[in-house]
Structure 1
Amino acid sequence: MPRPHIERIRIRGFRCIQEIEFPLTPLHALIGPNDSGKSTILEALMGAPRSNAGAPSEMTTFSNKRALTCGPPGVFEHGAQVEPNQAIRDNLASSPSPAMLALASPVRMVRLDPDAMRQPTSLIAQGNPLEYGPRGHGLAAVYDAFLSRRLDVFLEISKRFTELFPTARSIQLTNHSESTKVLGVELKDGRSVDAFRLSEGMLYWLAFAALPYLNPAPLILVEEPENGLHPSRIADVMRVLRDISNISQIIIATHSPLVVNELQPDEVTIITRTPERGTIATPLSQTKNFEQRSKVYALGELWLNYADGDLESELVADSTIPSTAG
């Protein structure tokens, strides 16, 4: 059986979104202006409790064609009923569908914050799953666990790290207290740099490098993976995310053309918003003159050259299909 993933999503009546519907791929990026609804879509995918009353507010269709609707109240196709203010996943444990069980599993949000990644963290007990928080808190504990559980992973990441950051000799873990550690780096000149002085780019890269080895999640939502990274490191992070997408579906919100350059046309959706129509979702491959433009530009450059940061009117046709608007 193919690995279940969300292949199409419809969101209705959620925050700033009236109604949108668009396809998703195992690795998918949402791009577009600020305040267009990208983060709101990620929040909807988190399966947060819905408090707004009314008709069913979301439909997600999986690769095996089983559908799921939810809203206060909502009924799943396989009989799992959701009460008002109840999270989607709370009543899915008894569902016979692997796709439903996949959605019932915890969704991982990745919104990395260098200040959170720098903080001392308690060690992960043997047998407990490897996790760090949405903002990266706990990263040092994950690397400490690699040393005892997956030395091969620690050495592999360390090797790649020193290739990408040639001033570094090795990744360090320092005892901050009897039960906490902090992440650091030893430089080739012998100096040690603790997490509080470590560059943001190094921290971001270390967090993404660890992501494939965390406790598996069927859906991973990533906000702006380009943050803090030198442009030459973005392709490396995107390779990591593409590898993960063979196991977990990855949905990205990004403002980086370099991220978009690493994707295929069907893996990118432009999110825009107008006062009259609300949030609009337009697959990049359905934008104006895409076939001709894509012969001239890489995907990221195509977006950069025709984006206006507002309505993206040179990309999104005035006749955008109504079902994609909200």
Structure 2
Amino acid sequence: MITKLRIQNFKALRDVEIDLTPIHVLIGPNDSGKTSILDALAALCRSVDHNLSPAFLGSWKDRELVWAGEPCASVVIEANLDHEVIAGYTISVGFAQGRRLAAPNRKIVRTRDKDYDSLVEAVQENEEFWPVDCPDVFLRVPDDISSLLRGLLGGVHLYRWEPRFLALPVAPDTKRSFRMESNGFGLALCLDEILSYSREQFVKLEKRFTDVFPHIHSIVLQQESSYRPPVDAPEQVTMLEKADGKGLYFRLHSGHQLIPASQASDGTLLVLAYLTVLYLPKPPRVLLVEEPENGIHPKRLRDVLTILRELISEQSHTQVLLTTHSPYVVDLFEPEEVTLCTKLDNGEVKTTRLSESPTVRKQIDVFTLGEIWTAEEDETIANTTEPVEGSPE
């Protein structure tokens, strides 16, 4: 599990540090750095099983990801890990001018016994510069340590689910296995792969889903004309082409009629997507979700958060990080599980754990976290300085 995340010079994240829990939520106004934190953590995790340029997702070029576009600044992303062997992992990245290219300045793998530092090794061996985008060449660590690191951080899932993509029929692809695109495309194929891998696992998923939606009798996957996009496209632009595949349907208790996923509610598809992640044969080590409340009724939202908590309980190696604008989501977390992001006058992002806020500590015995957040200004909550006794607050 990642216990601490530090990000420097990435977008508006000039220098932020966050203590993470097994399930953690980021709150704050728009443009306060929440999404940037998810993107930075995704890049750190992807760097263990991708080259550096595709590790940074989305559409970017030049030094657009660097704080204020500073020409000499490197993006540094560092994680402390709660593991018996691996203590932490750091990447320092430079971005080339005029291209979509990220070049490694430094990588450090910290174990309980020693640090493996690519910069130190390069200097000691009198090398000029390690090859760009060849992470396993310049990071000289034993195979067993590399394997452990990939097991701890590799295969990160980042989701900004859109129901219209969740509903699309999907063509099989040998390069895609047990995962959806960040927008949710691939749900039908994931379900079909779970069914093929373990019918018992699929039945458990279906039972849990129909418990949430008792009017639905079963999940049906039917052969039909489908779509296939590029796999793991780093710019996250979904270009679909036609192919044969499987479509997702729901059979109702009221009859034999099949309802296509395209006609199901957003909430139905979103809950099914979370359950699908929960029942993957190999759930992700790190699951990043942006605004899980979108398209979901507050009652269903509680179901979704219950599913996510059960994910980290049943799959104890999985860690979840969410962003939200919903006080209903915040109500379901403890103060130490919530970090508030605010932007300072100079454009930098500040992070405050709610358990460190005097405003929250004074009110938590009377009000819920969501009520406190709704009633108080973000700047008031972010002020961690206790007032001097006898002075006005």
Q: Please classify the TM superposition score into its range, dividing by the shorter chain length.
A: 0.7 to 0.9
Q: CA deviation at 1:301?
A: 2.4
Within 5 Å, which residues of 2 pair with 1:1-326?
A: 5-47=1-43, 48-49=55-56, 52=66, 53-55=72-74, 57-64=76-83, 66-72=87-93, 73-76=105-108, 77-80=115-118, 86=133, 94=141, 96=145, 100-102=149-151, 105-123=154-172, 129-177=177-225, 179-190=244-255, 191-214=257-280, 215-245=282-312, 246-276=316-346, 278-306=348-376, 308=377, 312-317=378-383, 319=385
Higher relative contact order (CA 8 A, sep 6+): 1
> Gapped runs of 5+ residues in structure 1?
321-326
Q: CA deviation at 1:291?
A: 2.1
> Gapped runs of 5+ residues in structure 2?
44-54, 57-61, 67-71, 94-104, 109-114, 120-128, 226-242, 387-393
SS in 1 for 2:207: helix
Q: 1:317–1:155: structure 2 CA closer, same or farther, 3 Å change rule?
A: same
8 Å CA contact 2:160–2:182 kept in 1: the answer is yes
8 Å CA contact 1:173–1:183 kept in 2: the answer is yes
8 Å CA contact 1:27–1:249 kept in 2: the answer is yes
Comparing 177-186 with 138-147, greater Cα deviation is found at 177-186
CA distance in 2, matches of 1:87, 1:15: 24
SS in 2 for 1:266: helix
Q: Aligned AA for 1:187?
A: L
Q: CA deviation at 1:109?
A: 0.5
Comparing 278-287 with 240-249, greater Cα deviation is found at 240-249
8 Å CA contact 1:271–1:282 kept in 2: the answer is yes
SS in 2 for 1:314: helix
CA distance in 2, matches of 1:56, 1:16: 11
8 Å CA contact 2:116–2:140 kept in 1: the answer is no
SS in 2 for 1:204: helix
**RMSD value, Cα:** 2.9
8 Å CA contact 2:131–2:138 kept in 1: the answer is no
SS in 1 for 2:358: coil
Comparing 35-44 with 59-68, greater Cα deviation is found at 59-68
Q: 1:247–1:69: structure 2 CA closer, same or farther, 3 Å change rule?
A: closer
CA distance in 2, matches of 1:103, 1:92: 17
Q: Counterpart in 2 of 1:323?
A: none
Structure-2-length-normalised TM-score? 0.71
Comparing 231-240 with 80-89, greater Cα deviation is found at 80-89
8 Å CA contact 1:201–1:228 kept in 2: the answer is yes
CA distance in 1, matches of 2:222, 2:184: 18
Q: Aligned AA for 1:225?
A: P
Q: Aligned AA for 2:201?
A: V
8 Å CA contact 1:124–1:145 kept in 2: the answer is no
CA distance in 2, matches of 1:319, 1:57: 28
SS in 2 for 1:157: helix
Q: Work out the number of aligned pairs and report it.
A: 311
Q: 1:137–1:242: structure 2 CA closer, same or farther, 3 Å change rule?
A: same
Q: CA deviation at 1:23?
A: 0.7
Q: 1:117–1:92: structure 2 CA closer, same or farther, 3 Å change rule?
A: farther
Q: Aligned AA for 2:276?
A: A
Q: 1:56–1:120: structure 2 CA closer, same or farther, 3 Å change rule?
A: closer
Q: Counterpart in 2 of 1:324?
A: none
8 Å CA contact 2:130–2:138 kept in 1: the answer is no
Q: CA deviation at 1:124?
A: 6.1
CA distance in 1, matches of 2:137, 2:180: 22
8 Å CA contact 2:77–2:92 kept in 1: the answer is yes
Superimposed CA distance per residue, residues 216-275 of structure 1 (whole angstroms, 9 cap, x where no aligned partner): 322111111122112111222112212322221111111122222222221110011122
Q: 1:159–1:32: structure 2 CA closer, same or farther, 3 Å change rule?
A: same
CA distance in 2, matches of 1:101, 1:94: 12
CA distance in 1, matches of 2:6, 2:374: 27
CA distance in 2, matches of 1:6, 1:84: 28
CA distance in 2, matches of 1:130, 1:280: 36
Comparing 212-221 with 223-232, greater Cα deviation is found at 212-221
CA distance in 2, matches of 1:259, 1:35: 19
Q: CA deviation at 1:317?
A: 0.8
SS in 2 for 1:313: helix
Q: CA deviation at 1:99?
A: 6.2
Larger radius of gyration, structure 1 or 2? 2
